[in-house]
Amino acid sequence: MSVELAMAVALLGPLAGAALIALFGRRPNLRDGAMIAASVVTFLAVYRVLPAVDAGGRPELFLFDFVPGLGIRFVVEPLGMLFALVASFLWIVTSFYAIGYMRGHHEENQTRFYICFAIAISAALGVAMSGNMLTLFIAYEVLTLSTYPLVTHHQSPESMRAGRTYLGILLSTSIGLQLVGIVWTYGATGTLDFTPGGILAGKVEGWALIVLLFLYMYGIGKAALMPIHRWLPAAMVAPTPVSALLHAVAVVKAGVFTVLKVAIYIFGVDYLSETGASTWLMYVAGATIVIASVVALTKDNLKARLAYSTVSQLSYVVLGAALATSWSVVGGAMHIAMHAFGKITLFFCAGAIMVAAHKTEISDMGGLGRRMPLTFAAFAIGALSVTGLPPLGGAWSKWYLGLGAADAEQLIFVAVLMISSLLNVAYLIPVAARAFISEKREGDPVPQPAGAAVAHADHDDEGGGIREAPMFCVVPLCLTAVGCLALFFAADDIAAFLAPIAQR
Amino acid sequence: MVDFVGLYNYWIVVFLMMAGLYLVIEHGNLVKKMVGLTVFQAAVFVLYITLGKVRDGTAPIVAEGIEIYSNPLPHVLILTAIVVGVATLALGLALVVRIREAYGTIEEDEIGDQDGPAI
Amino acid sequence: MIAHLPALQVVIPLLAAPACILVRGRDLAFWLALVTTWAAFLVSCLLLDQVMASGVISYELGGWAAPFGIEYRVDALNAFVLLIVSGIGAVVLPFTPRSLLIEMVGEKAYLFYCAFLLCVTGLLGVAITGDAFNLFVFMEISSLASCILISLGPHRRALTAAFQYLIVGTIGATFIVIGIGLIYGATGTLNMNDIAERLPQTGYNRTVIAAFAFLIVGAAIKLALFPLHFWLPKAYTYAPSTVSAFLAATATKVGVYVLIRFLFTVFGVEFSFEVLPTAFPLMLLAVLAMFVASTIAIFQDSVKRMLAYSSVAQIGYMVLGLSLVTVDGLTASMVHLFNHALMKGALFLAIGCIAYRQASFRIEDFAGMGKRMPWTMAAFTAGGLSLIGIPLTAGFISKWYLILAALAADEPLIAALIVISSLLAVIYVWRVVEAAYFRKPPPDAPAGEAPLSLLIPTWILIALNVYFGIETSLPVGVAEHAARALMGAGP
């Protein structure tokens, strides 16, 4: 299989999977098998591209011209390669997990769910491999639209409202700001191709550059910079596999990935640091990191806490782009992978707890760790990785980001990173700690609806009734937890692989 | 003053035009609206005819000893426009008949009251 | 044969119209009309090909040389509009037989086909003629015929809508005829090219300015430029869906053509935009149309009425493009003319499919439509996405060129307004999509897909929306060619 063919397979694999899923809609086992097969094929195809990119190649797939001189083009470079690998690998894991979760939860409309899921993955890979800004924009929009039915999956008034927030923010920012930025860029430079060193140098200057950067950064709503982060907590009404893969990995990472792409290949890291156009962005990202962490502290709902944690962590990547040094850019890119593994583990655990114990609030989870040791052990690992402690993957990306901040002589952001780590500890570690340490005391007043006698009866033997979630749920979350560990040792290779994007 | 009176044909046109337009806008009765529309169109016909008139000219029929003819083209144009006007009037009146069958009235206000919200 | 193409373009449907009455039979009349519209489409394709290959075609009707006889003059702009009108007619007509049975009495269908063909004749005639007065006559033919078509709507309100359309349309046409009369008075010719040549010599006196005002206002009524749009929503809402689709896709487009023709060819850029400050008012009205009409569309309970208001907003985009008075702006305007015909046509046809199952177009009655009529609703959604301007649809191309043109003309504010107003489109399209896909249908709601004869035309237009969202060389190429010619920059 040639590299170009592998790219095509990677892009079309999920779509073919979606078609098969639709075809086998009435036979759940066959349908789920088709999904897993598609995910494996997609990953293998993405993996096939890796050696070529590692060797310095930039495989290209050209479809057609759209507006003269501007077409649908896919080019794989290291940054996109990394994102594509992460997304396609985690899709396999999530597929297993989703099967366990959706069946364990007896969700309706599973076929529609899996179809949209597969389309979203295809779009995420499209974002990863896009060769110019327009292709990226199209894939980005497909990603938004295909995830909307996933957010509103339950079709309840609450999820409809959340869906409107989701779509409203993501579409209005992308069409309202990003598209204007793109057309402006095209008007100013006559190209939208991702070019090492950027295309804007000397074409757009002064205030215009800052405005353009603003259009891009706030146009990429998926990066969840404050104050346009609202869609991410809203999206948490979706079933947990969606929150896990899409709103911890594919969708949000597509956002920050786009931020990096724009910073590196449209603006150019050097041009950004020379002109200082991104200084404001550093402060916005820094503020988002700290504020979102503080908000996360106040959330008792586990998924909401994780969502705000994601908002905070995403801004690490944006900060990496804004600092515009080679260290920080590599750190930001690496954080995409590191955080993906950490956060997906946490979400998997949240989902497993929901399936096994039907609990969503952190305050109800005391003592659960003894019943579900694997789940909470994985949670602890994920939490430590997100916090950035060695020997877990998250440590390295923060290290590089810190180096970048020092390099850019912005010491205040070294401090921001440290404060944020402390806050991470404060909001994530207690969840695991309480589950293992705190005993459910006898006679503890348990808040529950009056007159719920049946529920009360359930509650009494709850301690004995809760077991680990089904294997389909537990194995994936253990895998990703191990992945966090493995990434710590792979960091050198990843940094070396990413080095070309930071070359001056 | 001479200019003012000398252009009397245009004043007639303007008066007819405004009167017709006023009828169309003011009246709730659909037939009267059609009357107004016809007057409005007729004003335009007059405008064209007067455009074609050449001072001291006669009817544009070639004859011995006549040097100056009026311009025949506007007349021809207006023949066409009259046909269009008649067609418009016929169609409008036909619609009025159908409206009367459907609503039992040809007063705009009364028609408006009879229907609920848009489908 | 080839030499007589311009005449055939108009004569074929004109002769077929009375023939429809002569044959009487419902099916026979349908087939006759179908063959006619397809023949007209073929002719316009050939004309466009010929124009693009060898430049402007001038045809003297009956052998009388211009400026005395009537000249049919086909340049890139004419050919482009001809293609839109006849193409939409050819796609929409197969939709009618099944749709007619539901929406009106089928017995007198041959009269419908006659009126339809007359309407096509009128619109094609307006687009092809080079003679100002002839343009008025054709405009009235199309306007009277479309009035008949509108009055055939299933609800009795179609009658009042048609009546209002008749009154307003006639006033608009009369304004145009006054303008033409005054121009004739000033220049002594009716041939549009001739007028354009003679106007600079006669000087821009008061007569010419009055003629200009009458013509522009008349055209603005015809194309439903805000705030002269009030006749349009009612007419499109109560007309049979086929008719709404056809008129929304063609009639206002021809209105825009008339505006462009008078502004740029007859009066010329210098007079229209330099001597008189026309650009700014037009731009202002266009922006107002985009915002006010879109906002009204958001608050409509009837989907069909919502689409009608959206048409008013979209006309705003077209006028906005030309009000930039640059080659880019005109190109964008014409590209949108083309693309909007495709998307609005598709959307109204989808509405027609729904009309096959239920009489109501209210949003709450769209609940669960995604399950009840999956193909129809998928088409509606695709058309809606095109209307919003999502990439890979024709609508995106329009927006792209419009924004590019606005930025190139140093109007970043206008670019921003274009973008913001398309977000309003997101809202009103999404209200329908949400109801159709994420609300449970009432248990007694009628279900079942529309027949293929309705679905196929709808999906042809949707496919074209996607096709022209990817392969843009036809509309963009022709529009650019036409825009250069209009701006006097040579072909």
- Rounded mean pLDDT, C101-117: 75
**Least confident piece of the model among A223-227, C1-5, C174-178:** C1-5
Instruction: Give the rounded distance of the alpha carbon of A502 from its chain centre.
Output: 22
Residue A395 lies in a domain: yes
Query: What's the pLDDT band for A465 if we cut at 50, 70, 90?
Result: low
What residue segments make up the domains of chain B, in order of their start?
2-111
Q: What is the CA radius of gyration of chain A?
A: 22
Please give the residue that has the higher pLDDT: either A433 or C458.
C458
- Rounded mean pLDDT, C263-275: 86
Residue of C nearest to B98 (CA): C159
User: DSSP secondary-structure letter at B117?
Assistant: S
Chain A residues with CB under 8 Å of C391 CB are 134, 137-138, 141
Interface present between A and B (3 or more CB pairs within 8 Å): no
B99 vs chain C: nearest CA distance in angstroms?
6
- Rounded mean pLDDT, B44-59: 81
- Give the number of domains in chain C: 1
Interchain contact, C178 vs B47, CB within 8 Å: yes
- Rounded mean pLDDT, A455-482: 66
Percentage of chain B beyond pLDDT 70 is: 92
Query: What's the pLDDT band for B3 if we cut at 50, 70, 90?
Result: low
Chain A residues with CB under 8 Å of C431 CB are none
Query: What's the pLDDT band for A451 if we cut at 50, 70, 90?
Result: very low
Please give the residue that has the higher pLDDT: either A207 or B91.
B91
Chain B residues with CB under 8 Å of C148 CB are 91
ipTM associated with this complex: 0.91
B40, B92, B117 ranked by CB distance to C163: nearest: B92
Q: Decide if A163 touches C, using CB distance below 8 A.
A: yes
C331 vs chain A: nearest CA distance in angstroms?
13
The yes-or-no verdict on residue C447 having pLDDT over 60 is yes
Distance between CA atoms of A375 and A371, rounded to whole angstroms? Answer: 9
Interchain contact, A167 vs C408, CB within 8 Å: no
Residue A72 lies in a domain: no
Residue C183 lies in a domain: no
Residue C446 lies in a domain: yes
Q: What are the φ/ψ torsions at residue C291 (nearest 5 degrees)?
A: -85, -50
The yes-or-no verdict on residue C105 having pLDDT over 70 is no
Q: Decide if A141 touches C, using CB distance below 8 A.
A: yes
Which of the other chains make 3 or more beta carbon contacts under 8 angstroms with chain A?
C
Q: Decide if C414 touches A, using CB distance below 8 A.
A: no
Which residue has 């398309």 as its token pair? C422
User: DSSP secondary-structure letter at A228?
Assistant: S
The yes-or-no verdict on residue C319 having pLDDT over 90 is yes
C359 vs chain B: nearest CA distance in angstroms?
8
Residue A192 lies in a domain: no
pLDDT digits (tens, 9 = 90+) for C191-215: 888 888 888 888 778 888 999 999 9
Residue C126: partners with Cβ closer than 8 Å, 6 or more residues away: C135, C138, C139, C142, C254, C257, C258
Give me the pLDDT at residue C86, please: 92
Contact C103, C355 (CB under 8 A): yes
Q: CA dist A413 to A167, A259, A410, B37, C55, Å?
A: 32, 19, 6, 76, 65
Distance between CA atoms of C96 and C94, rounded to whole angstroms? Answer: 6
Residue of B nearest to C300 (CA): B118
Give me the pLDDT at residue A444, please: 46
Domain boundaries B2-111, CATH class: mainly alpha
The yes-or-no verdict on residue A463 having pLDDT over 70 is no
Amino acid letter at A59? P
The yes-or-no verdict on residue C465 having pLDDT over 60 is yes
Interchain contact, A183 vs C430, CB within 8 Å: no
List helix spans (H) across C24-108. Answer: 26-54, 76-92, 96-103
Q: Decide if C395 touches A, using CB distance below 8 A.
A: no
Give me the pLDDT at residue C125, please: 93
Residue of C nearest to A155 (CA): C438
- Rounded mean pLDDT, C133-160: 89
Interface test with C, best of B79, B95, B109 (most C CBs within 10 A): B95
Domain extent, residue A338, equals 278-504
C171, C177, C362 ranked by CB distance to B119: nearest: C362
Q: Decide if C430 touches A, using CB distance below 8 A.
A: yes
Q: Decide if B115 touches C, using CB distance below 8 A.
A: yes
Distance between CA atoms of A481 and A391, rounded to whole angstroms? Answer: 12
Q: CA dist C301 to C237, C304, C342, C365, C366, Å?
A: 12, 9, 24, 10, 11
Give me the pLDDT at residue B105, please: 85
Chain C residues with CB under 8 Å of B99 CB are 156, 159-160, 163
Closest CA to C405 of C325, C286, C307, C306: C325
Closest CA to A368 of A472, A439, A428: A439
B40, B51, B92 ranked by CB distance to C174: nearest: B40
Distance between CA atoms of A132 and A139, rounded to whole angstroms? Answer: 11
Interchain contact, B99 vs C302, CB within 8 Å: no
Mean pLDDT, rounded, of chain A: 83
Please give the residue that has the higher pLDDT: either A491 or C68.
A491
Q: CA dist A182 to A193, A216, C156, C400, Å?
A: 11, 8, 49, 10
The yes-or-no verdict on residue C149 having pLDDT over 60 is yes
- Rounded mean pLDDT, C101-111: 67
Which of the other chains make 3 or more beta carbon contacts under 8 angstroms with chain B?
C
Amino acid letter at C347? L
B102 vs chain C: nearest CA distance in angstroms?
6
Amino acid letter at A422? L
- Rounded mean pLDDT, A19-33: 83
Q: What are the φ/ψ torsions at residue A132 (nearest 5 degrees)?
A: -145, 170
The yes-or-no verdict on residue A464 having pLDDT over 60 is no
Tell which B residues from 38 to 67 touch C, by Cβ distance under 8 Å: 40-41, 44, 47-48, 51
pLDDT digits (tens, 9 = 90+) for A243-288: 887 777 888 888 889 998 888 888 888 888 888 888 888 888 889 9
A445: left (phi over 0), alpha (psi -120 to 50) or beta: beta
Q: Decide if B100 touches C, using CB distance below 8 A.
A: no
pLDDT digits (tens, 9 = 90+) for C344-393: 999 999 998 888 888 788 888 888 888 888 888 999 999 999 998 888 88
pLDDT digits (tens, 9 = 90+) for A244-254: 877 778 888 88
Q: Decide if A436 touches C, using CB distance below 8 A.
A: no
The yes-or-no verdict on residue A215 having pLDDT over 50 is yes
Closest CA to A90 of A253, A245, A222, A243: A245
CA atoms within 13 A on the CB side of A30: 9
Give me the pLDDT at residue B4, please: 66
Give me the pLDDT at residue A449, please: 46
User: DSSP secondary-structure letter at A177?
Assistant: I
Query: What's the pLDDT band for C106 if we cut at 50, 70, 90?
Result: low
A145 vs chain C: nearest CA distance in angstroms?
10
Give me the pLDDT at residue A450, please: 44
pLDDT digits (tens, 9 = 90+) for A131-168: 888 889 988 988 888 888 888 887 788 888 888 888 88
- What does the block give as tokens for A71? 């077409």
Residue B29's beta-bridge partner residues?
B107
- Give the number of domains in chain A: 1
Residue A130's beta-bridge partner residues?
A74
Residue of C nearest to A208 (CA): C412
Q: Decide if A221 touches C, using CB distance below 8 A.
A: no
Percentage of chain B beyond pLDDT 90 is: 29
Q: Decide if B30 touches C, using CB distance below 8 A.
A: yes
The yes-or-no verdict on residue A205 having pLDDT over 50 is yes
Q: What string of H, E and C letters represents the secondary structure of B21-68? A: HHHHHHCCEHHHHHHHHHHHHHHHHHHHHHHHCCCCCECCCCCCCCCC
Chain A residues with CB under 8 Å of C403 CB are 179-180, 183
Residue A129 lies in a domain: no
- Rounded mean pLDDT, C133-148: 92
Interchain contact, B95 vs C302, CB within 8 Å: no
Domain extent, residue C430, equals 289-491
Burial status of residue C275 (CB atoms within 10 A of its CB: 0-12, 13-18, 19 or more): middle
The yes-or-no verdict on residue A56 having pLDDT over 60 is yes
Q: Decide if B91 touches C, using CB distance below 8 A.
A: yes
Q: Decide if B119 touches C, using CB distance below 8 A.
A: yes
Give me the pLDDT at residue A462, please: 45
Closest CA to A500 of A78, A131, A195: A78
Distance between CA atoms of A136 and A129, rounded to whole angstroms? Answer: 8
Query: What's the pLDDT band for A350 if we cut at 50, 70, 90?
Result: confident
The yes-or-no verdict on residue A92 having pLDDT over 60 is yes
Give me the pLDDT at residue C103, please: 56
Chain B residues with CB under 8 Å of C184 CB are 51, 74
Beta strand A70-75 with C57-60 is unpaired
**What is this structure's pTM?**
0.83
B92 vs chain C: nearest CA distance in angstroms?
7
C357 vs chain A: nearest CA distance in angstroms?
25
Chain C residues with CB under 8 Å of B10 CB are none
Residue A419 lies in a domain: yes
Residue A37 lies in a domain: no
Distance between CA atoms of A332 and A83, rounded to whole angstroms? Answer: 12
Kindly provide the b/e burial profile for residues A359-388, where b requires at least 16 CB atoms within 10 angstroms of the residue's own CB: bbebebbbbbbebbebbbbbbbbbbbbbbb
Contact A192, A133 (CB under 8 A): yes
Amino acid letter at A307? A
User: DSSP secondary-structure letter at C24?
Assistant: -
Residue A110 lies in a domain: no
Amino acid letter at C77? L
Mean pLDDT, rounded, of chain C: 87
The yes-or-no verdict on residue A302 having pLDDT over 60 is yes
Beta strand A60-67 with C71-74 is unpaired
Residue A10 lies in a domain: no
Residue A495: partners with Cβ closer than 8 Å, 6 or more residues away: A330, A334, A396, A400
Chain B residues with CB under 8 Å of C151 CB are 95, 98
